[in-house]
Structure 1
Amino acid sequence: MPQKRTSHLLTNLRSLMKNTTYVPQAINAYIIPSGDAHQSEYIAECDERRAFISGFTGSAGTAVVTDSTAALWTDGRYYLQARQEMDDNWILMKQGIPSTLTEAKWLSKTLNVGSVVGVDPYLVESEWWRDLAKELQGAGQTLIPVSKNLIDIIWEDRPKRPIKPVVPLEVKYTGRSVAEKLQELRCKLIEENAAMIIITALDEVAYLFNLRGSDIAYNPVFFSYAAVTSNEAYLFVNLSQLTGAAKDSLKAEGVNIKILPYEELSHFIENELATLSGKVWVSNHSSQAIAQMVPKERRIVKLSPIALMKAVKNETEIKGMEACHIRDAVALCQYFHWLEKEAIAGTQTEISAANYLQKLREDQENFVGPSFSTISSVGPNASIVHYEPAPETDRKITTEEIYLCDSGGQYKDGTTDVTRTMHFGIPSKFEQECYTRVLKGVISIATCIFPSEVKGNCLDTLARKALWDVGLDYGHGTGHGLGMYLNVHEGPMGVSWRSYPDDPGLKEGMFLSDEPGYYEDGKFGIRIENVVRVVKAETPYNHRDRGFLTFKTITYVPIQTKLIDPSLLTKKEVDWLNSYHMECRNKVGELLLQQGHQEAYNWLVRETQPIG
């Protein structure tokens, strides 16, 4: 990957850090987070400030620029990518490594007593601000807000903010009307003794109002805020984005929904505070800027109730999620059948193959677009966890190297995310062992039984044990939540070696990924990813009436048996794999034949033959 030269950008930024025309006082360090004003994981091009200043394009990371040093923090998914994309002006700080200092501790040690640290308060969460300010204060340093973003000043060709159409999503897909969701939300306000809630997360606004947009690539959201009181609801959005159908859908709800300009939120909060009695609920993931608009004594800082409302899918959403995964599997079976033949000829590359996969998905009912940029990766590229093929790194897909494909689709009735690792030639014994141990982790998660509301991180070890047994591991989490035609990564729950601070515990109706992996730097990468639904488990006992849960796998794409070393599998694991493959054949095969894909069906039958 080409490195971006950043010397001139850092020089310009450091000049602004001393210019009191742009900062309240001269600052000794400037923090550039990854997110936008809504703390989104995936962001629009106009908000890619950290990528602009550092060259690192991964979705997670924080850059810090001081008078003489520049450092970037990111996690194990992106170490290799960051190392390749950043020039020698930058120090790579590997999060998750015990010896790596946090941003706060690094600043405390690097800066002198009396130093001032600045950050755009719209780009950091209020709790993050509080913790950093406290730690810096302990070191004799100060954190201040910089309201005029310094990156925006030096970013001469910064893209404009998207203004794309906002459309309604019918109740036949959502399962609940806006009126029903508002009623439930208001019940939560009463429980917390709150007079109003401010909603800042884009997917929460889209969910609440049954609207979808495309302001951020792959995520069906639009730039907006919302506020809800006991009798009114407010949507803050660029008015030109709302289609006639979207306006009509809100009017048809029969509830009082007022539409105001996106920029009016701060004035609205100020006015409401003057006339509204009671406290205001602000999500703990809201920006410091938004949180500070509400006086501390009137502020409830707590996870937004909408986060859990959308995480637990209703019956309509569950049916849609399961149905779209079957259609998605049809496209993937066609794809791998086609690619197997192409690999022999060596005529396809990572990019051309990914493009063909999208065309196959486009043929499926209710398809809207990809749910993220397809990770189509060969050999050493597959060892980069979140690799994105580019012309300068594009490799041919052949029979000589492992091929890893992580892809997904946005459908009106659901969101998919599936990873399969294939070898179209003869894999090495080590590749087979690694693959089989990753598969053992997948099966261990898929078959586990656990108490209701257990935290996801309690399950993480199950996915890693077969790798740990021989001294192997992987640096990313094991599972993330998925939205229903919303963001492919959705909280507040997840399965990881790290605890999720807002994890409410696993509940029936949640959907998560199950995706252990293994990556040999510069050689190959392996990941197997299914989506699973949390369902009730039938157990002979029920300790203290707590109730027990398990997972139902809803991804129906064959797992390549060529890469498996059966001697490493237990009988229970072999039985699970054979049963899973029969389910793939039954659920996907019928639709393949209905759509006239006889050759892909034959491939599916071959790939789902039982193993002994």
Structure 2
Amino acid sequence: MISGSLKPTIARILQPQLSVLSRAMSVGATATRTDTTARLAELRTLMGSYNVDVYIVPSEDAHQSEYIAPVDGRREFISGFTGSAGCAIVTASKAALATDGRYFLQAETELDSNWELLKQGLPDVPTWQEWALREAEGGKNVGVDATLISADQAKSLTEKLASRKGGSLIGMDVNLIDLVWADKQPLRPKAPLQILGLEFAGKPFETKLADIRKDIEKYKGSGLIVSMLDEIAWLFNLRGDDIPFNPVFFSYAFITPTTATLYIDEDKVTEKVRAYLGDAVTIKPYNAIFEDVKVFGEISASAESKVLVTSSASWALSKSFDESKLTTLKTAPIEAAKAVKNETEIKGMRASHVRDGAAQIKYFAWLEKVLNSNVVLDEVDVADKLEEFRKEQKNFVGLSFPTISSTGSNGAIIHYQPEKKTCAVVEKSKVYLCDSGAQFLDGTTDSTRTMHYGTPTPAEKQSYTLVLKGHMAVARAVFPKGSSGFILDILARQYLWREGLDYRHGTGHGVGSFLNVHEGPIGIGTRMTYNEVPLDVGMFISNEPGYYEDGQYGIRIENVVQVVEKKTPFSFGDKKYYGFDTVTMVPMCQNLIEKSMLDEEEKTWLNEYHAEVYEKTKGFFENDPYTLAWLKRETALI
């Protein structure tokens, strides 16, 4: 339980830390490129010393985290590319950076002439694996930090190297980028752990352990290795401050039918946390996991009872075992359990989204007022103001990711984040896209609104309305139990496709409860992994189609929705049917809607949504007549 005296401490969690290039994931329209010549030269010298011809630099840390601590920003350091997704590959004479469509424009802006950009997903563009294999032909060795890729990735690369007559894949226990970075590399964070009380977690960690042990028994396992940081935080009802915007901490866990061990820097474990965990959990040093699981595997694993790992576990962990003593699970038991929120978490998620909606409503009303007053503010200024409004809300802890505050052509850079020295002034005459979220003790939020405070062009209104129609199609969907987000993606894109348009990102991602804003195993999109786990009642997922006109504007509309059971007139085959409740409470931009493009069912949904937004948020503005008037106007019937 978090007492009042602890709230100021936990409120520090997720406050932005300095990244390698000032802010992680950032890019300005005129961002300065990093000269990587000297860094690459030093890396190539080290590659020669370690007999490595091709060196792979993933984006992830040792726990396959999407968002990473500054100390793990190796790919950013060596390439100068600050986006959150991608992989760098370096040879004696070449360097390539592979990333997906969200970051094409950003990478083109940030990479210097030493780098070749591999635009993943485009025709005739090799994947980073294909590029690396091609460079390794002729018996050349490929090196990678064994903690930074999964065992499945390592196995696949090894097999393909053999088929392409390449050399060996070397799983290295030293990271060459760290050697280049040397004493300029940021230090590992040391913030103490915090306990998340039952009023927010909803279930004691002892009960969660008991449930996971049932899963271990179901899979006939002798133990379960846990390496994903949000899974460990959720399992033990603990939160940390090791990665910006994500309340997690560097650790491993090993769960057996009778024991639970937490591997962590012991300086982070206060006496209060030790007492809280009690005899149920043994605490050991972070790196002791590698020797412990090796010994345990040799003693306990058998043909009938094996150690369980997930497909996200690192190659370094898996190498500690004889492969015959391991069972690899596609979906982690904790990941699946965490995705379905309990009653307390559901209540908190819904309540936090109402408070967050009130903060955004106040912000968008304020922004209109200052723009009409001809006040000159840039993208950073207004993003900072939004954070101020969020701080006013109960249980606020910090942002859930860096705010994407973008005006005009910057909105077409899908994961744009403004920098003070290079960002644009927000103009009333241009489309403004704001993708933002917050961490509250009782929930995590993420929403995007695209606004226009002047006179939008017909093309802008048409684009916005096509995206809105796709958004509403997902929000209104009803589907049989057992359906995945993979099959729903077409609903969001159908209206854009009819015009020959599309967008280069997924339509939705799972959302944690005071945890990572991007949470597996569910999502809405074309990734085959989204077809592996069906949507289930109690899950929260984003609904965020978009459209981006390069050099002109970007449009995205995002709400978080909850999976709920739906009543249907019939029940074919006695199936249950599911759908979504929208929990984000922020009006759409009436100024950008081309109403003639909406049918009656769409108008009804929009009117009902706006009525709910008004009823749930109006009480926040009893002493704020300006914002209340703005809210009434933006939620008026269409």
Q: Which amino acid aligns with 1:335?
A: Y
In the alignment, which residue of structure 2 is the partner of 1:450? 479
Q: Check if 1:214 corresponds to 2:244.
A: no
- 5 Å-filtered alignment, 1:280-295, equals 280-295=307-322
Question: Structure 1 502/486 Cα, relative in aligned 2: closer, same or farther at 3 Å?
Answer: farther
In the alignment, which residue of structure 2 is the partner of 1:539? 568
Distance 1:332 1:501 in 2: 30
In the alignment, which residue of structure 1 is the partner of 2:178? 152
In the alignment, which residue of structure 1 is the partner of 2:47? 17
Q: Spell out, residue by residue over 1:183-231, the C-alpha distance to the aligned partner (whole angstroms, 9 max, x if none).
A: 1100000001101101000000000000001100000000111011111
- 5 Å-filtered alignment, 1:14-413, equals 14-19=44-49, 23=50, 26-141=51-166, 142-156=168-182, 157-251=184-278, 256-277=280-301, 278-302=305-329, 303-344=331-372, 345-413=374-442
Q: Check if 1:434 corresponds to 2:463.
A: yes
Distance 2:36 2:354 in 1: 46
Cα distance, 1:607 vs structure 2? 0.8
Q: Spell out, residue by residue over 1:220-273, the C-alpha distance to the aligned partner (whole angstroms, 9 max, x if none).
A: 00011101111111111111112333223222xxx6211111121112213323
Cα distance, 1:358 vs structure 2? 0.8
Distance 1:597 1:235 in 2: 49
Q: Spell out, residue by residue over 1:85-112, the C-alpha distance to the aligned partner (whole angstroms, 9 max, x if none).
A: 0011111111121322122222333333
In the alignment, which residue of structure 1 is the partner of 2:518? 489
In the alignment, which residue of structure 2 is the partner of 1:6? 36
Q: Which amino acid aligns with 2:344?
A: T
Distance 1:592 1:195 in 2: 56
Q: Check if 1:423 corresponds to 2:449.
A: no
Preserved contact between residue 418 and residue 529 of structure 1 (Cα < 8 Å):
yes
**Which of 602, 609, 612 is matched with 2:636 structurally?**
609
Q: Which amino acid aligns with 1:423?
A: H
Q: Which amino acid aligns with 2:280?
A: N
Distance 2:126 2:265 in 1: 41
Preserved contact between residue 145 and residue 175 of structure 2 (Cα < 8 Å):
yes
Preserved contact between residue 185 and residue 306 of structure 1 (Cα < 8 Å):
yes
Distance 2:122 2:375 in 1: 39
Q: Which amino acid aligns with 1:328?
A: D
Cα distance, 1:540 vs structure 2? 1.8
User: Which region of structure 1 is more displaced relative to structure 2, 105-114 or 405-414?
Assistant: 105-114
Cα distance, 1:356 vs structure 2? 1.0
Cα distance, 1:502 vs structure 2? 7.2
Cα distance, 1:128 vs structure 2? 1.3
Distance 2:120 2:595 in 1: 36
Preserved contact between residue 513 and residue 530 of structure 1 (Cα < 8 Å):
yes
Distance 2:289 2:620 in 1: 48
Q: Spell out, residue by residue over 1:554-592, the C-alpha distance to the aligned partner (whole angstroms, 9 max, x if none).
A: 001000111010111111111111110000000111233
State the aligned residue count: 601
Preserved contact between residue 494 and residue 503 of structure 1 (Cα < 8 Å):
no
Cα distance, 1:501 vs structure 2? 5.9
Preserved contact between residue 104 and residue 135 of structure 1 (Cα < 8 Å):
no
Secondary structure (helix, strand or coil) at the match of 1:500 reads: helix
Cα distance, 1:331 vs structure 2? 0.6
Preserved contact between residue 240 and residue 249 of structure 2 (Cα < 8 Å):
yes
Preserved contact between residue 485 and residue 530 of structure 2 (Cα < 8 Å):
no
Cα distance, 1:394 vs structure 2? 1.4
Q: Structure 1: where are the runs of 5+ without partners?
A: none
Secondary structure (helix, strand or coil) at the match of 1:270 reads: helix
Cα distance, 1:9 vs structure 2? 1.1
Q: Spell out, residue by residue over 1:364-410, the C-alpha distance to the aligned partner (whole angstroms, 9 max, x if none).
A: 11110000000011111111000010023211112121111000000
Preserved contact between residue 346 and residue 396 of structure 1 (Cα < 8 Å):
no
Question: Structure 1 66/512 Cα, relative in aligned 2: closer, same or farther at 3 Å?
Answer: same
Q: What is the identity percentage for the equivalent residue pairs of Structure 1 and Structure 2? A: 45
Q: Structure 2: where are the runs of 5+ without partners?
A: 1-30
Cα distance, 1:332 vs structure 2? 0.5
Distance 2:272 2:505 in 1: 41
**Which of 523, 527, 542 is matched with 1:513 structurally?**
542
RMSD: 1.2
Cα distance, 1:8 vs structure 2? 1.2
Cα distance, 1:69 vs structure 2? 1.0
In the alignment, which residue of structure 1 is the partner of 2:16? none
In the alignment, which residue of structure 2 is the partner of 1:459? 488
Q: Which amino acid aligns with 1:193?
A: K
Preserved contact between residue 226 and residue 254 of structure 2 (Cα < 8 Å):
yes
Secondary structure (helix, strand or coil) at the match of 1:381 reads: helix
TM-score (norm: length of structure 2):
0.93
Distance 1:66 1:415 in 2: 41
Secondary structure (helix, strand or coil) at the match of 1:67 reads: coil
Cα distance, 1:504 vs structure 2? 1.3
Preserved contact between residue 400 and residue 444 of structure 2 (Cα < 8 Å):
yes
TM-score (norm: length of structure 1):
0.97
In the alignment, which residue of structure 2 is the partner of 1:587? 616
Secondary structure (helix, strand or coil) at the match of 2:467 reads: helix
